[in-house]
Amino acid sequence: MLFNSLEYLFFLPIVFIIYWALAKVGLSIQNIFVLSISYLFYGWWDWRFLFLIAFSSILDFFIAKGMLAVKTRRLKKNLLLLSFLVNLGMLGFFKYYNFFLESFFSAFPFLMNAKTDYTLNIILPVGISFYTFQTLSYTIDVYRGKIKPIDDLIAFASFVSFFPQLVAGPIERAVKLLPQFQQPRIFSYNNTVNGMKQILWGLFKKMVIADNCAEFVSFIFNGSATYSGSTLMLGAVLFSFQIYADFSGYSDIAIGTANLFGFRLTKNFSFPYFSTNLGDFWKRWHISLFNWFRDYVYIPLGGNQRGIWKRLINVFVVFFLSGLWHGANWTFILWGLLNACFLIPNVLFSAWNIDRGVESVSHSIIRKILGGAFTFIFVSLAWIMFRSENVNEAIVNYRVVFSESLLAWPYFPEWRRAFFLFFLLLFFMGIEWFGRKGEYAIEKISDKWPRSLRWMFLAFIFFLIGVYAHTEETPFIYFQF
């Protein structure tokens, strides 16, 4: 079931009403209901993969309990390794089996004849990368003693499969979300209205900005060989808006939906395109994933503490893993490494500033604008790798972008149809700019306005969705990860 589908439009109010009606019956019944609707939501795509989530939930539930029961640290560690092995094993099998096989046979072409014997027709379960990381964070935190294992299997299974964030995050930590399943949720008018506003803004981002950009991005990238460097760069810029609006739109709908049910989820995007340097950008983009890598990979590897070379290596490891996490394609891995390369000056500069005891944040407006522009350009350049079908196509695209034709006037035959998009992007980024102090763009933007003006503003967003939404249901980009 997609957030931008007619089914969800009916599903959400129905489950909302039943959920709050059950609040009087008891917490455990409410949790059973959350678990049931989460499984229904997920099973809408493919019910067979429900067994996978259920298995993962039960396994990690008992592994965590086992960690409490065992006496020695070694046994505890073995249980953690078992959790790693099973969860990452499932992820590896479903997501990377054919990719590694393909890479292996490419490296050893003389064995190519045997390839068909080993190739499997595997369907990727939606959201597997997200919920695997979520359950892993639970067992790791129990191992580290940050949280105690939970006794309530229903609450734990609900935490793993909580439908708003199940298929594309935010990747929640047990420390934050699990206690919310153990405490009674209290209905709040303000939270609900806030949630509805965030859902509205998320839908606008997805259906109006992302899906309309997608049409032109596909048009440009599908014919990239025939276009100039400037046109391709325009395609990369539009893709920057598309992927941001698509993914942060999903996160907004997820967080807004969770709000309706009395849950608080992690903020996943913090207006990343207003970052003034790349380091800042990666603190604001897909926050829940990069925080996961920070806490479970970067810091255990030594983080910033063991000298500049070690720090650089750690950055490369994190970005390599983040690229691999995105998908079974070399383009994603290279996208991760490219971003790590772009980050090198930033890492060196901040280390140098720390050595000199100088504050690295600039207060000059001109430096901020220039920094913002360069950050956006570098991020957009890296998105070319991400958007290309394969590495060869990416190389061709980069060659075109860095040719003389980058200075030519961008051209593609769909300009007239793209005209409205220019105004929509202006509106979108304008609202994001004025609302950048809030949790999401329209949270506080109209707070102090009279009710009539506030409603007019919200109704105007409805109007923009009605008049400019892409009319075919298109899945969110991050569903494939």
Partner 1 sequence: MKKLVTQFGLFLCFCFPFYVLCLILLQTFSPFGVLRKNINYPIGGSGHMHSRMKEVQELSDLDVLFIGSSHAYSGFDTRLFEEHGLRVFNLGSSSQTPLQTLLLLKRYLDQLQPKTVIYEVNPYAFSVDGVESALDIIANDENDFLSLEMALRINHLKVYNTLIFGFYSDLFNIHKGFKEGKQKGKETYISGGYIEKDLAYYEPKSFAKSIWQLVGKQKHAFEEISNILLDKDIETIYVQAPVVSAYYNSIINNSSFDSLIDSYGAYYNYNKLLQMDDSYYFHDYHHLNQNGAKKISQEVLKLLMD
Residues that bind partner 1 (CB under 8 A): 6, 20, 187, 189, 192-193, 196, 212, 416, 419-420, 423, 455-456, 458-460, 462-463, 466-469, 471
Nearer to partner 1 among residue 175 and residue 193 (C-beta): 193
**Residue with smaller CB distance to partner 1, 110 or 189:** 189
Minimal distance, residue 240 CB to partner 1, in Å = 22
CB of 207 to partner 1, least distance (A): 10
Q: Residue 228 gets which letter from DSSP?
A: -
201 vs 443: CA distance, rounded Å: 9
Cβ closer to partner 1: 109 or 413?
Answer: 413
Number of C-beta neighbours around residue 425 at 10 A: 18
Q: How many CA atoms lie within 13 A of 269 on its CB side?
A: 25
Q: Which is nearer to partner 1, 93 or 455 (CB)?
A: 455
User: How far is residue 156's CA from residue 31's CA, in Å, rounded to a whole number?
Assistant: 10
Q: How far is the CB of 165 from partner 1 (least distance, A)?
A: 23
Interatomic CA distance for residues 462 and 452, integer angstroms: 15
Active-site residue identified among 286, 326, 363, 470: 326
- Minimum Å gap between C-beta 192 and partner 1 is 6
Alpha-carbon distance 458 to 456, whole Å?
6
Instruction: Select 67 or 214, whichever has its Cβ closest to partner 1.
Output: 214
- Contact call for residues 91 and 100 (beta carbons, < 8 A): no
Q: How far is the CB of 467 from partner 1 (least distance, A)?
A: 5
Cβ nearer to partner 1, comparing 468 with 479: 468
CB of 471 to partner 1, least distance (A): 5
Closest CA to 10 of 31, 54, 41: 41
**Structure token digits, residue 30:** 């409410």
Q: Which is nearer to partner 1, 187 or 433 (CB)?
A: 187
Query: Smallest distance from the beta carbon of 239 to partner 1, in angstroms?
Result: 20
* 3-state SS assignment for residue 362: coil
Contact 365, 189 (CB under 8 A): no
Q: Is residue 326 flagged as an active site residue?
A: yes
| Nearest residue (CB) to partner 1, 17 versus 348 | 17
Task: Say how far apart CA 254 and CA 4 lie, in whole Å.
Answer: 12
- The amino acid present at 391, given as its one-letter code, is V
SS (H, E, C) 165-221: HHCCCCCCCHHHHHHHHHCCCCCCHHHHHHHHHHHHHHHHHHHHHHHHHHHHHHHHH
Rounded CA gap, 179 and 466, in Å? Answer: 39
**Shortest reach from residue 351's CB to partner 1, in Å:** 49
Residue 220 has a CB neighbour count (10 Å cut-off) of 22
Q: Contact 220/478 with Cβ under 8 angstroms?
A: no
CA distances from 122 to 57, 92, 98, 298 (A): 22, 11, 8, 31
Give me the torsion for CA of 63, 69, 71, 72, rounded to 10°: 10
Least separation in angstroms between CB 459 and partner 1 = 4
Minimum CB distance to partner 1 smaller for 186 or for 365? 186
User: DSSP characters for 397-458?
Assistant: HHHHHTSGGGGSPP--TTHHHHHHHHHHHHHHHHHHHHTTTSSSTTTTTTTTS-HHHHHHHH
Enzyme catalytic residues: 326
